[in-house]
Amino acid sequence: MSKTTFRTALITGASAGLGAEYARRLAAAGTNLVLVARRLARLDDLARELREKHAVTVETLQADLATSDGIDRVEHRLAGDETLDLLVNNAGFTGGKSFVERDAAVHMDMVQVHVATTVRLSRAVLPGMVSRGRGAIINVASIAAWSAFSGPMYSGTKAFLVMFSENLQSELLGTGVCVQALCPGMTHTEFHEVANIDKAIVPKPFWMTAEEVVRISLRRLGRGVVCVPGWKNKVIAFLMRCPLTAAGIRAFSRLPAVRKRANR
């Protein structure tokens, strides 16, 4: 874990997967938590576990971040919190079907959750962090930010998170506040089951656990903006971005059989 210790962290999408793992690892380090998600019962179960095990303060906040009202609730909680020094923008979703097959409302929900939530919550916490001279924001993106296989909305919104994080960190140089764009590859969480994605498409050696991803994220916080956990994911990300290989990968992604499997 990063040598930096945090007093209070707010984590979105905290009821499962990477969000829950961030909560467990931070609580173990003595960080008080504000956990945000739609599923209040699961948040309360996790909060109870962390209070009993680590004797930290854990607050739960139910909010649907696909709605402006949901984002408003979290912004209101952030307002004036002098102890909050870590924001983890982890909430997200994906799914099968092509751009044309999915309703426009679903696409706009993705923009709300991945883009609008990240922008509004980051803007809400940064004035306090900058004035105190310390703090961090982790934006959970994905190696899909450079992928030709992950759909225009999912890849597009994750690409936004990478560029937003890189440029935001440039603005924050010298303030004591750091920004990370975490770009994991395939990670064992319930994310894929909820989206009805066939996990067998990706060979087992390319998968990582949530514990591995979060451990690397926190260890690398403040040591470069873009964090791609695992050497295999680093190779994949390089090949997708390298001009010598990116064109070939994109051409391969256009094959009908590949598109059919990607949209499952």
**CATH code for the domain in which residue 112 is found:** 3.40.50.720
Tell me if 28 is assigned to some domain.
yes
pLDDT value, residue 147: 84
Average pLDDT, consecutive stretches of 10 residues, N- to C-terminus, the chain (264 residues): 81 96 98 97 97 97 97 94 96 85 95 98 97 97 88 94 98 98 82 49 72 97 96 85 65 50 48
Using a 10 angstrom Cβ sphere, with 0-12 exposed, 13-18 middle and 19 or more buried, the burial of residue 100 is exposed
Q: Residue 30 half-sphere exposure, CB side, CA atoms within 13 Å?
A: 5
Distances (CA, A) of 21 to 90, 133, 237: 11, 27, 24
pLDDT value, residue 33: 98
Q: How many residues does the chain have?
A: 264
Tell me if 2 is assigned to some domain.
no
Of 65, 9, 17, 54, nearest to 35 by C-alpha is: 9
Point out which residues pair with 227 in neighbouring strands: 182
Tell me if 118 is assigned to some domain.
yes
Number of domains in the chain: 1
Of 178, 61, 160, 165, nearest to 114 by C-alpha is: 160
pLDDT value, residue 174: 97
Tell me if 3 is assigned to some domain.
no
Tell me if 71 is assigned to some domain.
yes
Cite the active site residues.
154
Q: Is there a contact between 161 and 139 (Cβ–Cβ < 8 Å)?
A: yes
Which helix or strand (DSSP H or E) is residue 119 part of? helix 117-132
Tell me if 1 is assigned to some domain.
no
* pTM for the model: 0.87
Tell me if 124 is assigned to some domain.
yes
Tell me if 162 is assigned to some domain.
yes
Amino acid 260 reads: K
Distances (CA, A) of 102 to 99, 162, 198, 212: 6, 25, 18, 33
Ramachandran region of residue 13, left (φ > 0), alpha (ψ -120 to 50) or beta? left
pLDDT value, residue 258: 44
pLDDT value, residue 233: 87
Helices (H) and strands (E) in the chain, counts: 11, 9
Domain span at residue 46 reads: 8-262
